Structure 1
Amino acid sequence: MDSVTTTDFSTPCSKNAQIDRIVFLAGWLLAALLWCIRPAWADTPEIEVAQLRLERTEEGLFLSANVRFDLPQLVADAAAKGIPLYFVAEAEVLRDRWYWYDQHIAGVTRYMRLAYQPLTRRWRLLVAPTPIANSGLGVSLGQSFEDLDEALGAVQRISRWRIADAAAIDNDARHSVDFRFRLDVSQLPRPFQLGVTGRTDWNLSVSRNLRLQTEAAK
């Protein structure tokens, strides 16, 4: 009889435990949902090309730029937890054509991977002309920095980047350069890409066009 009585009294407790678990899971799912839709309320990060300069020499056409932006807190937090950030800078040289679209003369791309290294507590920046694998292997230049601001400064500054051969520029034609810079979420780890899709915090991109001064104007 005692066993029967015990069974009768444990049933409500079991039901209460199940209800508690359901409430907990519902709260967790609601928190996750609110975290996912947070970008709808967030402001788009401000970014600008503060300086863009072209230099033409016998060695070719060189571009120098300074891109200004503050890394959104959500992105900075992810980077501090070990998620690598990928930046891409592109430059395209165009020749004017009045009768059709401008002609593509030359184009270059710079890939940058910025990652925090917990063991050394330093930030590692890799720069390469081709996409950088997660392993960081391949032909690339590497630099280490003490803090994130210092590392971002190196990402934002581009100095004398050779974007075209001297022979590619026609002295009798007009040319312009399209410069583009962005945070590339497509290179993030695959599981993480799903979480940042549609987030304005991660929408960091800017572009600018600059007319190349002709030799006659110089």
Structure 2
Amino acid sequence: MFRPRSSSSAVLLLWLLLATAAMGAWAADAGRFAIRTVFTHIEGGVIYLNADVDYELSEIAREALTSGVELTIEIQIEVVRDRRLWLDRDVASLLQRYQLSYQPLSERFIVRNLNSGDQMSFAELPAALEHLGRVRNLPLIDDALLRPGKRYEIRMRAMLDTRDLAGPLRLISFFWGDWRLESEWFEWPLQI
């Protein structure tokens, strides 16, 4: 067994081990989710949402996906009434959920909309993530539910939902930062 000769050797050895571990963690692909653009439009009395989201899975999430683990991605959207002297009032909230899976026999990535049941398959993961990141004409709220002259704001974020992972993997994801993939809240005023 290796035993350092002095305490300075032990400190140097410990420092080298920590530096090596830190470099390995730094070099690992952590992934990220980011909302790039968002806009809304009104058609037939309904406010629709369009957004572009960049999804980059961490290396550990990609490995799990190609090993058969289904990943659930959520888009959380809130419509709030902006009140100056009080807390903002939630007017509506929407949770759009997608499941991303890999089928090894066909070598296809499947994107399933868990709200509607629609699904599409893709030969490559980047194409599946690009499709997942294009949110088009998502009905958000009926404009009759909004009071004219009041200020409203929309908030949106995308996240990897680790609650749907199998028990042991869910526990690991709680402690391992590479599983915590979520965008910042993207906020913008709603023009009525």
TM-score, normalization by structure 2: 0.80
Identity of matched residues, %: 24
Aligned equivalents of 2:187 and 2:169: distance in 1?
A: 33
CA contact (8 A) 2:33 2:159 kept: no
CA contact (8 A) 1:45 1:203 kept: no
Higher strand share: 2
Match of 2:88 among 98, 102, 105: 102
Aligned equivalents of 1:196 and 1:104: distance in 2?
A: 30
Identify the residue that residue 186 of structure 2 maps to in structure 1: 208
Q: 1:148 to 1:45 in 2, by over 3 A?
A: closer
Matched letter for residue 156 of structure 1: G
Number of residue pairs matched?
170
Matched letter for residue 105 of structure 1: V
- Cα RMSD (Å) of the superposition? 2.3
Identify the residue that residue 97 of structure 2 maps to in structure 1: 111
The one-character-per-residue Cα deviations of 1:74-120 (angstroms, maximum 9, x if unpaired) are 21111011111110001111112223111111111111111111222
Larger deviation, residues 101-110 vs 45-54: 45-54
The one-character-per-residue Cα deviations of 1:10-65 (angstroms, maximum 9, x if unpaired) are xxxxxxxxxxxxxxxxxxxxxxxxxxx98x93475333211111112333111111
Gaps of 5+ in 1: 1-36, 130-138
Gaps of 5+ in 2: 1-20
Superposed structure 1 runs of 4+ greater than 4 Å apart:
none
Identify the residue that residue 182 of structure 1 maps to in structure 2: 159
Match of 1:76 among 62, 79, 84: 62
TM-score, normalization by structure 1: 0.71
Q: Does 1:49 align with 2:35?
A: yes
The one-character-per-residue Cα deviations of 1:142-161 (angstroms, maximum 9, x if unpaired) are 11111111111121111111
